[in-house]
Each structure stands twice: as C-alpha cells, then as structure tokens.
Amino acid sequence: MQPEERDPAYLWDMLQAAREVEEMMAGNDLEAFLGNRMLLRAIERSVEIIGEAARRVSESYMTNHPGIPWRKIIGLSIPGSVSMVRLMRRCFLSKKGAHPFNHDKELVKYSACLI
C-alpha cells in the first residue's frame, strides 16, 4: 500500500483522538483538569496520537494542504515538547465548542487550539 493510500487512516486517527480530547474536556474546567492526573495523562496521550498520526501523513498530502500546521502538530508527539498545563489552559480559555467537525477544517481549528 502506497503512503498516499494510508492518509485517510491517519487522518481518521487524528480526528478520533481530537474528538476524544473534546469529550474529555467537556464538562470540565481548568481547575478540574489540573486536579485530575488521570485526565491530564489521557489528554496528553491523545495529543501524542494526533502528532504521531500527522507524522505518518504523506508529504504529498501535507503539500496539498498547506493551511494545516503539520510541523507544529507533529511536534505534539515528541515527549516533553509540550507543556500539557499550558496547552490545556489555552484550550480551556478558547471558546468551548468552537471546533466543528468537518475533516480538514476541524484539524486546522483543533490544532490552532493546541499550538
């Protein structure tokens, strides 16, 4: 299977992980997040999955979708590269529910919260 043929699977993984983060954040505020190490680790792992899947997306797909900050998203998968507390502060302070799900646009909006 060519790399381009696998792109939809990687994008699906990114989408699923982003939805999981939104589900985990729903109903929680920043204080609840900071006081729950299990929630912190779960969100941290989902963010890493987003970065790992982005790393596997083909160069041709990335080139054809320059509006998505691929390198920054990929950087999310590097352990210790992201302060989860800073990341979640940014996400909680952004407008909740402002990430409509519709493929490429969703990735751009969600990643804007993350980076």
DSSP the chain: --HHHHHHHHHHHHHHHHHHHHHHHTT--HHHHHT-HHHHHHHHHHHHHHHHHHHHS-HHHHHH-TTS-HHHHHHTTSTTSS-HHHHHHHHHHSPTT-----THHHHHHHHHHH-
Considering the entire predicted model, what is its pTM? 0.72
Q: Which residue matches tokens 């999955």?
A: 49
* Chain segment 1-33, per-residue pLDDT in tens: 565 789 999 999 999 998 998 888 888 777 787
* Chain segment 68-111, per-residue pLDDT in tens: 989 888 887 776 665 666 666 666 666 444 443 344 455 545 55
